A and B are shown apart, each in its own frame.
Chain A
Amino acid sequence: MQQSNTYILVFSAVLTIILGGLLSGANQFLKPFQDKQVELDTKKKILGAVMDISTIEDPNAILALYDERISSTVLDINGDVMEKDEKGNALVAEKIDFQKNHKKDIQTRPYPIFMFMNESNKEQVDAYIIPMFGAGLWDWISGFVALESDLNTVKGVAFDHKSETPGLGARITEEGVKARYIGKKIFDEQGTLQSVSMVKGEKGDPLDEHHIDGMSGATLTGKGVNAMLSDYFGYYSKFIEKTRNASAVVAEPVAEPVAEAQEVEVVEENI
């Protein structure tokens, strides 16, 4: 059956309006649920970098745990606290979209950091969690890397990715791969940033403290992860430096001269 052009135009227009309305309606209705899922997902990943939360089923329990243990702040490239973004709006670390943030200029972009506080002493930081973003083989990869309070030893990592190959690159989200990072150091004995990198291939050999076993068949994803880690440790290096110096200064007035010398030595050994 051959219809007139007018009929086709009217039909298309009506169809477009109906389908468009349906989709925007669904989006409006589902948006709050989706936002909550995204928030929960981010908080789960932040917590996941420092502790095992896989046993907690209740989403509200996870959110409560997050509020209790994590405190966050936003830094600039020099490691100073940044309170407002370029438009003058207050910055909230959890609200920063890491993907959009990654596209901003390195010098001016905000750098959120999450502090995992001690359970009994709420003033003491147990771990620093650094959010990261980078390029995998097919699309973006992101991660949260937790450093012990010495800001050198890796306490844990949590990675995410958009479309790395399942079973190959997508293994960065698996426990077995993530566990390889734990205990590795990001600075060498001279205090130079070395980051932690994945080697090519999967040999299972014992490696030095700056390298971990790679993923067989996913060398390019591994390279992306390596680049992401070394880039972001670099961006946060001023903050890391300042925090470590500050903790050395805090120790000074308390300790006696002799003890102080010892303490400094210990800190240097850790470096």
Chain B
Amino acid sequence: MSTETLEQPIVKEPAEPLLSKRRKKFITDPLNDDNPVTIQVLGICSALAVTVKMQPTLVMSVAVVFVIVFSNMIISLIRNLIPSRVRIIVQLAIIATLVTLVSEVLKAYLFDMYKVLGAFVGLIITNCIVMGRLEAFAMANKAYDSVLDGLGSGFGYAWIILAVAFARELFGSGTVFDIPVYDTLYSISGGIIDIQTNGLMVDSIGAFMVLGIIIWVQRTKNGYVEH
């Protein structure tokens, strides 16, 4: 078990500001330097599966952020009550409950999205990011910090899959959020700009390629080396 102990040393300090430097790092780190998808390479399965179009990807992102934040919060609140021998199953039960709630709400209010995402929303349960954060952070930190950490990891995941989805939808279907881009370019330019959509992008292979390029660019920029 690898637990990051980010708890402050024993020195009694005045109340920490709501967004102190330390806390800001919880949110900003996962966005870039410690991104769950591109650096830790977690949650790849859904990053490949749901990123064909922007709209379902956005719904998926919101669902994942919701699940990470609330499971982090709940686990953190009851972390001293959880028997360590069954902690994994407890984490799983909480995640599964939250995911089922999300799925039920989608079915009741966003039925079209529910049909598109169906199985993938259920698969948030197995998204390594969620459980990874619970085990590595929420089990050892206070609730508010855990919420921030959840937001950070959630958005870190969200922006990557949205970026992948943007590239895949644009090049694969010629649209962005179902707004036709290629067709508009075609008619505006009077038929001069006639770009063909790339079928590879609609396939999972397209996601691998886009994700690979994002990781490459990011690591070149940050100078990150695999240890």
Question: Could you list which residues of chain A lie within 8 angstroms of chain B, going by C-beta atoms?
Answer: 1-3, 7-8, 11-12, 15-16, 19, 22-23, 26-27, 30, 33-34, 37-38, 40-41, 160, 162-163, 166-168, 216-217
Contact = CB atoms under 8 A, between A and B. Distances in A.
A87 B96 CA distance: 37
Taking residues whose C-beta sits less than 8 angstroms from the other chain, chain B's interface range is: 20 to 34
Contacts of A41: 111, 115
Contact of B86 (A8, A19, A163, A168): A8
Contact of B104 (A3, A26, A162): A26
Interface string B144-175: 00000000000000000000000000001100
Contacts of A30: 104-105, 107-108
B218 interface: no
A37 B202 contact: no
Contacts of B93: 15-16, 19
B107 A34 contact: yes
Contact of B81 (A11, A40, A163): A11
Nearest to B94: A19
A44 to B, nearest CB: 10
Contacts of B100: 23, 26
B84 A1 contact: yes
Chain A interface, >50% SS class: helix
A37 B108 contact: yes
B83 interface: yes
Interface of B: 52-53, 81-86, 89-90, 93-94, 97, 100-101, 104-105, 107-109, 111, 115-116, 118-119, 172-173, 199, 202-203
5 contacts: A11-B81, A37-B107, A40-B111, A41-B115, A166-B116
Given A23-B97, A167-B202, A216-B199, A15 B108 contact: no
B68 to A, nearest CB: 18
A96 to B, nearest CB: 19
Nearest to B202: A167
Given A19-B94, A168-B202, A216-B199, A33 B109 contact: yes
Contacts of A7: 83
A162 B116 CA distance: 8
B198 to A, nearest CB: 11
A40 B109 CA distance: 12
B108 A34 contact: yes
Nearest to B120: A163
A27 B198 CA distance: 42
Given A26-B100, A37-B107, A216-B199, 5 more contacts: A8-B86, A12-B86, A12-B90, A19-B93, A163-B119
Cβ-closest 6 pairs across A and B: A167-B202, A33-B108, A37-B111, A30-B108, A3-B83, A8-B83
Nearest to B51: A166
B82 A11 contact: yes
B38 to A, nearest CB: 23
A37 B109 CA distance: 8
Contacts of B83: 3, 7-8, 11
Contacts of A22: 97, 101
Contact of B172 (A1, A19, A167): A167
A3 B101 contact: no
Contacts of B119: 162-163
Contacts of B90: 11-12, 15
Contacts of B109: 33, 37
Contacts of B173: 167
Nearest to B101: A26
Contacts of B108: 30, 33-34, 37
A23 B84 contact: no
Nearest to B81: A11
